Amino acid sequence: MKFGMTLIIIVLVAALIGTLALTGKPDEDYKGSTKQNTVRLTAIYVIVILGAIGGLAWYITMN
């Protein structure tokens, strides 16, 4: 169980770092909308992380 949680956290952190690295180098045409895209993507990450934590908590309490 600890191995799976560690693996999930590593994947989430790697995805977040990769996403933030790409937002630092936008195309010239999309430069104006980078902030909006970053805010939306951050919101998606927050929702997914909270859902994953909630699902894990539910799974743990059911067993």
Count of Cβ atoms closer than 10 Å to residue 17 Cβ:
10
pLDDT at residue 44, as a whole number: 94
Please give the Cα distance from 11 to 21 (Å, whole number). 15
pLDDT digit of tens for each residue in the chain (63 aa)?
788 888 889 999 998 888 888 776 656 666 667 778 888 999 999 999 999 999 999 989 987
Residue type (1 letter), 47? I
- The upper half-sphere exposure of residue 62, i.e. CA atoms within 13 Å in the direction of its Cβ, equals 6
pLDDT at residue 5, as a whole number: 86
Domain ranges of the chain: 33-63
pLDDT at residue 31, as a whole number: 61
- Encoded tokens for 24: 């630092």
pLDDT at residue 25, as a whole number: 64
